[in-house]
Chains A and B, each alone.
Chain A
Amino acid sequence: MTAAVFFGCAFIAFGPALALYIFTIATEPLRVIFLIIGAFFWLVSLLFSSLFWFMARTITDNKDGPIQKYLLILGVLVSVLIQEMFRFMYYKLLKKASEGLKSINPDETAPSMRLLAYVSGLGFGIMSGVFAFVNTLSDSLGPGTVGIHGDSPQFFLNSGAYPLIEKTRLNKTFMTLVIILLHVFWGIIFFDGCEKKKWSALLVVLLTHLLVSALTFISPHYGINLVSTYIIMVLMGIWAFFVAGGSCRSLKFCLLCQDKDFLLFNQRSR
């Protein structure tokens, strides 16, 4: 049972990211490097967020009670802000790198900003998803319970909490999936907004990120927050598609396999 749960949850949460990695990133060394650097930037942003939360907690002397919950909420919101800040910093770094490259080698072309946006978004997403989910995954390989407080399995079976654990795990799985995809779309939209100096796009990305995080506060009503997050993801996906240069026409060509001139990634000739 636990192996099935492990593989099922792992592939639901990380399947699309793995597919995206294998088909678009793994073949080009440079993209792998940019992906890892993106993951690193997200990691550093998480570090700063944890530092902030830790300092806030020590300032309030670690008292228990509602203040901890408010501090946590504040921590989450600050963390979202810091993540977007680091996304901006990564954009600046990539911009400088591209410019440096152009000045040295004017006749060669550098990777386009759109590609870098996608890769950086995927890097952020993968790291974020992994950090959120991998502990749950590894626990699911254990004796069958996600016992955060170390309770015995018997206790869980008797208390009727088992279905809740399963629900929790499933919720985390789907949330991880949607977060990864959202980071990809946010990356594309964000970089495009920076390129075209459309600061409203940046603001919208920040606001939707805050919204998605805030929606998770209303647990345990998993259904609502999950469905609304998925709706947001679909909207972001459509926006990112158009921002990245897609159009209804290209989509039609792609689906009808007439896309010889529109394919971005040449997998095989048609």
Chain B
Amino acid sequence: MLTFMASDSEEEVCDERTSLMSAESPPPRCCQEARQGLEDGENAAQWRSQDSEEDLDDADRYVCSGVPGQPLGLEEELTLKYGAKHVIMLFVPVTLCMIVVVATIKSVRFYTEKNGQLIYTPFTEDTPSVGQRLLNSVLNTLIMISVIVAMTIFLVVLYKYRCYKFIHGWLIMSSLMLLFLFTYIYLGEVLKTYNVAMDYPTLFLTVWNFGAVGMVCIHWKGPLVLQQAYLIMISALMALVFIKYLPEWSAWVILGAISVYDLVAVLCPKGPLRMLVETAQERNEPIFPALIYSSAMVWTVGMAKLDPSSQGALQLPYDPEMEEDSYDSFGEPSYPEVFEPPLPGSPEGELEEEEERGVKLGLGDFIFYSVLVGKAAATGSGDWNTTLACFVAILIGLCLTLLLLAVFKKALPALPISITFGLIFYFSTDNLVRPFMDTLASHQLYI
């Protein structure tokens, strides 16, 4: 699920020399009015008010909010300002995660070896007939998706009955496992691949430090960049686990099914994730400051209205994918909003909120994007073209999703479009483009 917060009144350099002319910042008063109007208004609307994603149709600071001809309100004027930057703020971490996964897949043989399957995919694919294999993969998918649905509903029920301690304990346990056990395994395999010897005390020290700092950063407070880096790392680790343990055809069918589930869960009125979002909005609190990658910090100053956690103004629907993480208990809580350095020098008593908002993307989205690209890298017969095609397709899907976010201004599932494009491009590149490019390359022809 994608959501984001507005960012306001930044100083922009007006540069006449570039052919891309920068616009000036809007007068602060407009920001004030708009913001105040929003804060007085619904929480639900707040996160969609001042931000809008912009896309193809803009210069750095404008967004085509999708309804040409409609007179622009103040809100939309402000939304026109911060589009392309948010798209890039998401492109970079998604790209980094994919790079880590692809680099590992291509170099560490461990993650492409078949060493059993997860209990969630009990049916084997080593059957002689194609029909049987297809049937097994569909059954595997059904089991996996039902586990995910069950876990999501369990989570929603827990949340509804306010069992916060249970949820936090669950998330902490899963992040412990990811940060320590999986990191240890990963490090072991990497060292084996490059034939580097490391004694146990050093290994213990390294893994301990890495894991402990990760726990602190993710669950408590830490520099934003470090937190983002840890979130990317654990998404990559999780994706690698999926790539290793999901059999081939099951993986593709699961990817397709997950996108459909994501669509249903976020958009249907009775979908578990939508209910989760609405419950959180009713209670005026963030759902979980966890399992979400946030691209910016929140700074709040002297806001009388804000509660101590200062979350009221920043209602953020969360990503359905965190449920996937929770179900297999490999989710990482993150507290992007918790880190709030007081803004020095701002006048006290003024109902002014200085915010640097950003876009939030669930970790599950990272994981499944990386699974797609990693599988393309692992099984694309050593071909880089397939991997690159999937990568570009996923980025374009993300771009389109952000555009839709600007148009519809509500929480949207981030998986369907990207995964659809990714799957289309994987299969078509692998089967159509690859023979063509190989033939061209062998004849030294250029198109």
Contacts and interface: CB of A to CB of B under 8 A. Distances in A.
Interface in B12-54: 15, 17-21, 23
Nearest to B399: A33
A20 to B, nearest CB: 15
B205 interface: no
Interface of A: 28-34, 36-37, 39-40, 43, 46-47, 49-51, 53-54, 72, 75-76, 79-80, 83, 93-94, 97-98, 100-101, 103-105, 108-112, 114-115, 127-128, 130-132, 134-136, 138, 148, 168, 171-172, 175, 179, 212-213, 216-217, 219-220, 263-266
Contacts of A130: 388
B430 to A, nearest CB: 11
B425 interface: yes
Contact of B57 (A50, A101, A168): A101
A216 B445 contact: yes
16 contacts: A28-B60, A28-B84, A29-B85, A43-B393, A72-B439, A93-B56, A94-B56, A97-B64, A100-B57, A108-B21, A108-B80, A134-B385, A135-B383, A135-B437, A135-B441, A265-B17
A-B residue pairs, 5 tightest by C-beta: A266-B17, A29-B84, A29-B88, A50-B436, A30-B84
Contacts of B65: 104
Given A39-B392, A148-B442, A101 B59 contact: yes
B86 to A, nearest CB: 8
Contacts of A51: 428, 432
Given A40-B396, A138-B384, A179-B446, 20 more contacts: A29-B60, A29-B87, A33-B56, A39-B392, A50-B435, A50-B437, A100-B68, A103-B68, A104-B80, A108-B80, A110-B62, A112-B19, A134-B385, A135-B437, A135-B441, A148-B442, A168-B444, A172-B444, A216-B444, A266-B15
B59 A171 contact: no
Contacts, number: 170
Interface of B: 15, 17-21, 23, 55-62, 64-65, 68-69, 72, 80, 84-85, 87-88, 91, 382-385, 388-389, 392-393, 395-396, 399, 425, 428-429, 432-433, 435-447
A212 B383 CA distance: 26
B56 A114 contact: no
A-side interface mostly: helix
Given A33-B56, A93-B56, A50 B433 contact: yes
B74 to A, nearest CB: 14
Contacts of A28: 20, 60, 84
B17 A263 contact: yes
A32 B88 contact: yes
A245 to B, nearest CB: 9
Contacts of B442: 148
A38 to B, nearest CB: 10
Nearest to A131: B385
Given A29-B60, A53-B436, A83 B80 contact: no
Nearest to B56: A97
A105 B62 contact: yes
A59 B428 CA distance: 19
A219 B428 CA distance: 29
A43 B389 contact: yes
A140 B3 CA distance: 43
B307 to A, nearest CB: 33
Contacts of A265: 17-18
Name which of A30, A114, A130, A213 has the most chain B CB atoms within 10 A of its CB.
A30
Contacts of A31: 20
A33 B61 contact: no
Contacts of B62: 101, 104-105, 108, 110
